Structure 1
Amino acid sequence: MRKPLAVGLLTYCVISFSGFAQKIDAEYDSKIKEYTTDSRFLPASLLQVADHPSIPSPLKHFGEVIGAPGVMHNTTEIYGYYQLLAEKSPMIQIKQVETSEEGRPIYMVIICNDDSMEKLDTYKGYLSQLADPRTTNPEEAEAILQSAKPVYYLNGGMHSTEMGSPEMLMELAYRLVTSEDKTIKQIRENVIVLINPVSEPDGRDKLVDWYYRYTKARTEWEDGFPRSAPYWGKYVFHDNNRDGLQVSQAITKGIFSIFFDWHPTVMLDLHESVPLLYISTGTGPYNEQVDPVTIGEWQVMANHDITTLAAQGMPGAFTWAFYDGWWPGYGIWVANNHNSNGRFYETFGNAGANTYMRDLSTQKYAGDPATTREWYRPDPPTERVYWSARNNVNYMQAGVIASLTYAAQNGEQLLRNFYQKGANSIRKGKEDSPKAFVIPAKQNDPAMAAYLVNQLRAQKIEVHQADSGEYVVLLDQPYRNLAVSLLTEQKYPKEAKFPPYDDIAWTLGYLYGVDVQQKDSIGYELASLKKIETEVAYKGEVTGQGNSFFINYAAQNTVLPALFWIKEQDKNAEIRVLKSEFAVGQDTLDAGSMVIRGLSASKAKELAEKFGLDLLRGSESPESDQTHLVQLPKIAIYHTWFNTQDEGWSRYTFEQRGIPYTSIDKDDLKAGSLKSKFDVILVPRARGDAADFIHGIDSRFGPMPYTKTDQFPSHGLPDSSPDMTGGPGFLGIENLKQFVEAGGVVITLDNSTVMVAETGITRDLESYTASGLFHPGSVVTVKSKKSDSPVLYGFPETFSIFRGNGPLYQVDLAKRDMMLLQYGTKPLKDEEPYTGKIMGMASLEPQKDEKAETGKEPPYVRSGMVRNEQTIIGQGSIFNVPVGKGRIIAFTFDPLHRFLNHHDAPLVWNTLINWNNLGD
């Protein structure tokens, strides 16, 4: 199967264009050739590896070359090699920038020539000056451009199953500090290279252990065996590249730390999924707030890299037909959002170091087969390729060297573009509308308004505060475009030819439940505005007199954790929820508000400040039938072993909010006695069908332990199992049903509603197919069907939530009172009142629709795009389904989506607060 390599030709080509005399490591070259399966997969530029007298190559250090069959390195080995290089060469430094959730270091490696290394702070300062054209005028910028060097940031190991980049980057680093090849010397002299060798170290170590524990022994790619450990990071799986707006995980904090310290001119994120090398530009539609200069750079650099690989005879490189360029929350988009250039590669990885026969015949991108010749893919691969880890290293490294070469040869232009994009942003802030955003001081949840300010500042967007308390975002600033993107509605084009790559709406005011106002003029004396320089926090106040403390509830995110805190401070404190409006002095409290007794004045003050809640003191006492007692539940969060992505976000959200829980899995369901241990079981979204929820990972692969051992020390976190296969089975499903029947509450989010609706736990929910509905992640309008339901406490009759593509369910008309919330504002057809004649009865005058006469209904789509929205309007978004003595609260969207839609989360918190008072 393997074609012999044209060794003589390759050697001749290297010597002819290199033009230097350097001792070559013949053994290293020989092994590269041996492990590459086809001569066309090995460019001449990757041979002639230096045999340096004092700096050890990967072969000398590890005993094998990078890309050797059956060899993968963990973070200790990878970091150890970089540390050795830094000891041996003055052209490389390594420094820690962050610590992972499980305590592993995240490092940044710096590579450049001696001159650059001696003046790193000077070059870093140049980029900082170019980043803000308000403080660096064009003449000053022009002088800087004559001395500055571009900084090129390479990000590796983000997605842990994409295992090639942490390997390749070690060889690249060795090449950059040892090679005397003309191209490498030019990179070293003209560019400062930053490398994040393993941006997700927790996942890297889990997957290296997984490889040696399980997949190294596999011989067929399509054998159905899981290629990944169940977890990567402590909380986040593949979504670790969807955290760029939240900045919640250590991986993102590390990337942001590097970016804002250095302002790299170009960032390249190294991924693996597409044959043989995809170089990002995307099909569009592009994010409207990305500067056209950046979009032009995407095209120029992608075509440069493809051309360079084509010149070396490498097939299968392409651009355009994968991804779109819309969502701004990828890790590498910190560059595109801040006037730099963020791009990515997708090479073809095998989730390890095995060599497999790979079938490309069914793969399509932008509607075209992966193996056809197109304008964007001038040299396609064959329908089958015999693919090795070394092939992957070759493609990735050749592409990176091509891109670094472009930066080395066009550094001044890239830096000039960087400065110009900041100037463009400031000009638009002055000339275009809006001129500013205002976040009023009065908010339903003022703590979330403070959170929004902090999130904007995490993106280096400047925020000021007026004397009257409101926050003001003036738009004549370098990151004006990002501020506009985050604070305005997204209008994704319905006519887009290809489906979006990810969510298409992210308007933070909607997602956080914060009122944000656009202003076409600045109604402040600028000198009176104070720039915010530190984290802000809303500190609640206690007002009034009396022995009781009241919280006027408006679905504030901090109320539930505050209640747990109260019980920690004094277990005898009594908390009651108002079932209807109640007057306290001059204030009228809404249903869902709380009265707290037995709390000292000092603790009340501490609570108000700690949780950002205003408390009202009063002597009024509602009647007992006007309230119900809060008995805080024992909560379990269930996770499957076949899909942990969203369960991790739920755990993270609970921990950030300070809500205690117990993590459970299939074995806990099978063990039974659930009601004796828990009151509420939350089932976060998990992608799968009913069979997946029942049977889990195919038992033919069992037993499959995920346990910490001396040989595999990274496994067993954040949960362990002696055997991941098998699922809870019918016994576990029956035990879950018994839990509900005995009075427990099960909350299902989005697709996990499958677990209760299609396994027999309830037969009231029926699957509903909305014909032609296409509903990518967007902010949409919902309306209360039962506004007195405790699940909806604190929310108005009509509001917005975030929803993506997911299954829908319905109930019969006779059971429609189970529907708490609907999509859109119009009723279903079978709920519309009959206005025609009725035989046997006198004709009645049709009733007028007063609402239709007094104002327009809000649009269904508030931010984003939905096709055929009429098929979902009126359908249920939350159901309250009685099962025995208990309840199923079934969501057909995810209110805990990626720690983003905080406005929706209180629908879950309401369920937990009122778990034992959810219906008759």
Structure 2
Amino acid sequence: MIMINIKKTCVLLLWCLSLLGKTYAQVIPDPKSHFGFSIGDDYRLATYQQLEDYFQKVDAISDRVQTIEIGKTEEGRKQYVWVISSPENLRQINRYKEISQKLARAEELSSQEAKKLALEGKPIVWIDGGLHANETVGAHQLIETYYQLVSRNDAENVAILDKVVILLSQVNPDGQELMSSWYMQETDPKKRNMRVPRLYQKYIGHDNNRDFFMMNMKESTHIARQQYIEWMPQIIYNHHQRGPEGSVLAGPPYRDPFNHVFDPLIITSIDGVAAAMNNRLNAENKPGYTRLSGSVFSTWWNGGLRTTPYFHNMIGILTEIIGNPTPEEVPLVPKRLIPNNATPNPVTPQPWHFKQSIDYSVSLNYSILDYAQRHGDELLYNMYVMGNNAIKKGQMDTWTLLPRYVDSIELFYKREKEAGKLKGDSIPKKYYDMVLANPKFRDAKGYVIPADQADFPTAVKFINALIKSGVLVHKATADFTIGGKHYPAGSYVVKTAQAFRAHVLDMFEPQDHPNDFQYPGGPPVKPYDAAGWTLAFQMGVQFDRIVDLFDGPLEKIDYGVLQNPPIKELPISEGGFLLNAKINDAFTVVNELLKADVKVYRITKAVNNLPTGSFYVDAKAATLLKKYARDYGVVAQAIAEKPQQMLQLQVSKIALFDYYGGSMPSGWVRWIMEQYHFGFQVIYPQEIDEGNLRKKYDIILFIGGGTPSLKDEKSASNRYFKMPSKEEVPEKYHAMLGKLTVEKSIPPLTTFLEEGGQIIAVGNATNLAYHFKLPVENLLTEQNKRGEMTPLPSDKFYIPSSILTVKVDTTLRPNWGMSESVDVVFNNSETFKIKQPSSEIKPLLWFDTDKPLKSGWAWGQSYLKGGIAAFYVPIGKGNFYAFGPEITNRGQAHATFKLLFNELYKNK
């Protein structure tokens, strides 16, 4: 009888506990019980596998968590979003996601309906960590934040869980696994280091935070889908390192300039969140927060995990904090010790431990979450307001207030003032009307991407980048006409009357970066990243800008549904087939054909309206060509007879230069070559120094840094990495060590050329031209008082990463398939002039105007006129190719990929 009563009591107790929810019935294991150390302990890091196991273990216990696998990384690891909220909210999570989507897209939604939804919904806050894997605070604060959110039952935490939906994500799993495993492999804690042998995200390393309007990588594609298609977070918090010297962290609000196309409510919303963050740290006696002019971060640039959200009406937050598992010091920086608006609460010099950075980061997370729970309906409704504003702007005549328009007003006024046509100092309103009410300067109502352009497969890739960004795209179901111009069925249309209008404008329109100097006549203020990046220009996409309202036989593409080029029937041919050299993916097809032992030729004279350099394949390859048409959207053109003037192609043995620690430009090219199916080997400095290169390779690619500097000829120019010694790395990585030097590296490279090898240099690597003693010199120089030639100072010439237009000699083989002009990415790039007349040097690209700027910022651009942007020259039996512009820029510059591809074959 007693046994029965005890059993009934236990059942009753378990039933009561179940009513309270399983979180209260279960004990959440703290991180130390799982990892064997507390998060923030000095000299200790957790791997991604350990993080994944812990998060899954807690999820199995807690009813505050839902785990969503969002895809696989480039190395095949699982990538997740962990959804955290109250059990009641999680049971209705699909409804809250639906509300966020409706408010974000603002489609056919009245203000009254939006207010009602905002009151019903829950704000969604995204918090991530680990994007840059050597910034180890980010991934580890995520662990501690996860534990606290799931385990704490205090009033603040309960209120947050009740009123907010939180998305936590480790955004670079591969990098955490690499970096933590490397750091922890050393048994002596004080010898632990982060000098890993390769990039901490496959292919691109630090540039993983430069991929968020292109989404080339799997990781950024997965993240963008969650942010711009699935959840539509109102706040996105992206954790980074490192804080400016003499501070603990840099955070919002950010310095000018901000981008002119997004809604101003973004800027003031950042201010609101920023105040909550700064206030919490000050209330908790955590000094050292710097903002505004206290750091370099602005809101100008698109492409980062926290900046691309601005163009989607989302509040992007970035902090850059100090701290590492190896203890350090906050250095003495006297100018930061005086409180000011940039740093209201300075930190003093002191020892600094990992745990302090974790504590700061968790406090910052909670400041944002507390702000969201207090202002949730406002955050939701304001997102609707911004989306609705964008839709309205896309339906009416609008003029974006750009620096070039303001400059025009001031120029008109100055001219008439000097001509005596005006009196007084007031600028008449007529100048505003002349510019910002001028119909020809109106913002676009939409853009048409014609289906009959030569490289339509690349245009489809551009469309897919927009679709991945949550942009609404339409497709023509039949032929149509706008303004007297005919467009074929299958063309794409992107209208600006949509919530993400700012992102649409930013992908099609030129950026207009203001002239920004430290003081009048002083040096320029360096943009945080790029000044201009217009993706349609970079990709060479042909489009028409439509400024009047229009419509047509258009079908709406469902959000997130990626497109494929149309599949057309391969015509029957006895004379063989031609592949258009203007199509980038024609090279993919060619590489597949060569692997299948099919003979491929390039025509040296235009045939059937296809340009010189197009590829000829015998009719026997029809079956393969049909398959490749389905796979890559490249349809061959039938011809009646085999062309007479051709060169047969052979596969080349290609070496791609890299160095210990990894080069991002080289990594991007590795990715590009894999996408287009080129075979290659990676080569390191020691192998170059050993010589006998021609026996192993036909071509060596030098992309970006790593070549010997002209200032210190015994060292390599490598801004990203300090080369370790053999004693500091395991033996299996020793072959990757070393630097190129003038003494040991240039002679074998010269011999390689003389024996018939080809060297292609891009960007900074073009300084090889000077080491090879070629008769060229830097165009952008001037003579100083001592008669020496020195680089132009930045107050005279300064072009941070922007898009410029160059002329192309289409008669030369390296330029086959190119148009007579092309937009290139120019980042203070090497520009040449020929020292004396030389028939040997063949200019490939050059500046034929004093105003080549297409998008971005170009101070002193007139200096470029007549300058050579790219050339090639025979050296012995081989050739050296130099491309100053970034022709492979971050996997985005599809318009100039062919400049590389053309040189990657041997001609029989």
Answer whether TM exceeds 0.5 for this pair: yes
Measure, in 1, the Cα distance between the counterparts of 2:32 and 2:628: 60
Measure, in 2, the Cα distance between the counterparts of 1:180 and 1:791: 67
Amino acid at match of 2:342: Y
Residue matched to 1:15 = none
Residue matched to 1:267 = 236
> For 2:895, what is the secondary structure of its paired residue?
coil
Q: Is the aligned partner of 1:575 residue 2:549? A: no
Q: Is the aligned partner of 1:374 residue 2:340? A: yes
Q: 2:726·2:734 contact (CA, 8 Å) conserved in 1?
A: no
Q: Is the aligned partner of 1:142 residue 2:115? A: yes
Measure, in 2, the Cα distance between the counterparts of 1:340 and 1:731: 52
Measure, in 1, the Cα distance between the counterparts of 2:869 and 2:569: 35
Amino acid at match of 1:340: M
Amino acid at match of 1:258: Q
Measure, in 1, the Cα distance between the counterparts of 2:283 and 2:729: 48
Residue matched to 1:802 = 825
Q: CA deviation at 1:895?
A: 0.9
Measure, in 1, the Cα distance between the counterparts of 2:528 and 2:839: 35
Amino acid at match of 2:835: D
Q: Deviations along 1:389-437, whole A, 9 cap, x unmatched?
A: 0111121111111111111111111111111111111111111342111
Identity of aligned residues (%): 25
Measure, in 1, the Cα distance between the counterparts of 2:505 and 2:723: 50
Residue matched to 2:737 = 725
2:46 to 60, 69, 73: 73
Amino acid at match of 1:561: T
Q: 1:102·1:234 contact (CA, 8 Å) conserved in 2?
A: yes
Measure, in 1, the Cα distance between the counterparts of 2:25 and 2:327: 30
2:579 to 551, 571, 588: 551
TM-score by length of 1: 0.82
Residue matched to 1:7 = none
After superposition, where does 1:558-637 map in structure 2 within 5 Å?
Answer: 558-569=585-596, 571=597, 573-582=598-607, 587-597=608-618, 599-623=620-644, 626-637=645-656
Q: 2:659·2:738 contact (CA, 8 Å) conserved in 1?
A: no
Measure, in 1, the Cα distance between the counterparts of 2:843 and 2:278: 54
Residue matched to 2:429 = none
Measure, in 2, the Cα distance between the counterparts of 1:410 and 1:604: 58
After superposition, where does 1:206-245 map in structure 2 within 5 Å?
Answer: 206-213=178-185, 217-218=189-190, 227-245=195-213
Q: 1:704·1:724 contact (CA, 8 Å) conserved in 2?
A: no
Q: CA deviation at 1:824?
A: 2.0
> For 2:727, what is the secondary structure of its paired residue?
coil
Q: 2:581·2:614 contact (CA, 8 Å) conserved in 1?
A: yes
Q: 2:43·2:189 contact (CA, 8 Å) conserved in 1?
A: no
Residue matched to 2:749 = 736
Measure, in 2, the Cα distance between the counterparts of 1:370 and 1:83: 43
Q: CA deviation at 1:475?
A: 2.2
Measure, in 2, the Cα distance between the counterparts of 1:743 and 1:782: 30
Q: 1:703·1:723 contact (CA, 8 Å) conserved in 2?
A: no
**Counterparts in 2 of 1:692 and 1:133: CA distance versus 1, 3 Å:** farther
**Counterparts in 2 of 1:170 and 1:553: CA distance versus 1, 3 Å:** closer
> For 2:184, what is the secondary structure of its paired residue?
helix
Residue matched to 2:175 = 203
Measure, in 1, the Cα distance between the counterparts of 2:360 and 2:619: 68
1:419 to 375, 384, 405: 384
Measure, in 2, the Cα distance between the counterparts of 1:864 and 1:215: 49
> For 2:222, what is the secondary structure of its paired residue?
helix
> For 2:511, what is the secondary structure of its paired residue?
coil
Q: 1:279·1:302 contact (CA, 8 Å) conserved in 2?
A: yes
Amino acid at match of 1:599: K
Amino acid at match of 1:676: K
**Counterparts in 2 of 1:692 and 1:475: CA distance versus 1, 3 Å:** farther
2:546 to 519, 524, 537: 519
> For 2:45, what is the secondary structure of its paired residue?
coil
Residue matched to 1:777 = 801
Residue matched to 1:250 = 218
Residue matched to 2:444 = 434
> For 2:904, what is the secondary structure of its paired residue?
helix
> For 1:131, what is the secondary structure of its paired residue?
helix
Measure, in 1, the Cα distance between the counterparts of 2:761 and 2:374: 55
Q: CA deviation at 1:656?
A: 1.1
Q: 2:684·2:737 contact (CA, 8 Å) conserved in 1?
A: no
Q: Deviations along 1:450-475, whole A, 9 cap, x unmatched?
A: 22222221112122122122211122
Q: Deviations along 1:130-149, whole A, 9 cap, x unmatched?
A: 22322433332222222211
> For 2:859, what is the secondary structure of its paired residue?
coil
Q: CA deviation at 1:619?
A: 3.5
After superposition, where does 1:448-847 map in structure 2 within 5 Å?
Answer: 448-466=458-476, 467-468=478-479, 469=489, 470-495=491-516, 497=518, 498-525=525-552, 528-529=554-555, 531=557, 533-539=561-567, 542-543=570-571, 545-554=573-582, 556-569=583-596, 571=597, 573-582=598-607, 587-597=608-618, 599-623=620-644, 626-686=645-705, 689-690=708-709, 691=713, 701-705=725-729, 721-727=733-739, 730-754=743-767, 756-758=768-770, 760-770=771-781, 771=792, 772-784=796-808, 786-815=809-838, 818-826=841-849
Deviates more, 1:731-740 or 1:535-544: 535-544
Q: CA deviation at 1:159?
A: 0.5
Measure, in 1, the Cα distance between the counterparts of 2:661 and 2:49: 28
Q: Deviations along 1:27-70, whole A, 9 cap, x unmatched?
A: xxxxxxxxxxxxxxxxxxxxxxx999822222333343221111
Residue matched to 2:300 = 326
Measure, in 1, the Cα distance between the counterparts of 2:661 and 2:562: 42
Measure, in 1, the Cα distance between the counterparts of 2:116 and 2:547: 36
**Counterparts in 2 of 1:361 and 1:549: CA distance versus 1, 3 Å:** same
Deviates more, 1:652-661 or 1:79-88: 79-88
Amino acid at match of 1:311: A
Q: CA deviation at 1:860?
A: 0.5
After superposition, where does 1:34-53 map in structure 2 within 5 Å?
Answer: none
Q: CA deviation at 1:790?
A: 0.8
**Counterparts in 2 of 1:496 and 1:416: CA distance versus 1, 3 Å:** farther
Deviates more, 1:899-908 or 1:691-700: 691-700
Q: Deviations along 1:241-299, whole A, 9 cap, x unmatched?
A: 00001112132123223223221121100111113121133212111222111111111
**Counterparts in 2 of 1:686 and 1:464: CA distance versus 1, 3 Å:** same
Measure, in 2, the Cα distance between the counterparts of 1:261 and 1:531: 16
Measure, in 2, the Cα distance between the counterparts of 1:79 and 1:143: 38
Q: Deviations along 1:123-171, whole A, 9 cap, x unmatched?
A: 2222122223224333322222222111111011111111012212222
**Counterparts in 2 of 1:640 and 1:700: CA distance versus 1, 3 Å:** closer
1:880 to 872, 875, 881: 872
Q: 2:145·2:362 contact (CA, 8 Å) conserved in 1?
A: yes
Q: 1:702·1:723 contact (CA, 8 Å) conserved in 2?
A: no
Q: CA deviation at 1:217?
A: 4.8
2:311 to 314, 322, 337: 337
Q: CA deviation at 1:345?
A: 1.1
Measure, in 2, the Cα distance between the counterparts of 1:608 and 1:794: 19
Q: CA deviation at 1:495?
A: 3.6
Q: CA deviation at 1:379?
A: 1.3
Residue matched to 2:127 = 154
Q: Is the aligned partner of 1:87 residue 2:60? A: yes
Q: CA deviation at 1:231?
A: 1.5
Residue matched to 2:425 = none
**Counterparts in 2 of 1:215 and 1:658: CA distance versus 1, 3 Å:** farther
Amino acid at match of 1:276: V
Amino acid at match of 1:393: I
Q: 1:694·1:733 contact (CA, 8 Å) conserved in 2?
A: no
5+ long unaligned stretches in structure 1 = 1-49, 363-368, 708-719, 827-856
Q: Deviations along 1:281-322, whole A, 9 cap, x unmatched?
A: 321211122211111111121122112211222211122133
Q: Deviations along 1:545-588, whole A, 9 cap, x unmatched?
A: 5413223433x21122221222233x2x4333233344xxxx34
Residue matched to 2:369 = 404
Amino acid at match of 2:56: Q
Q: 2:40·2:355 contact (CA, 8 Å) conserved in 1?
A: yes
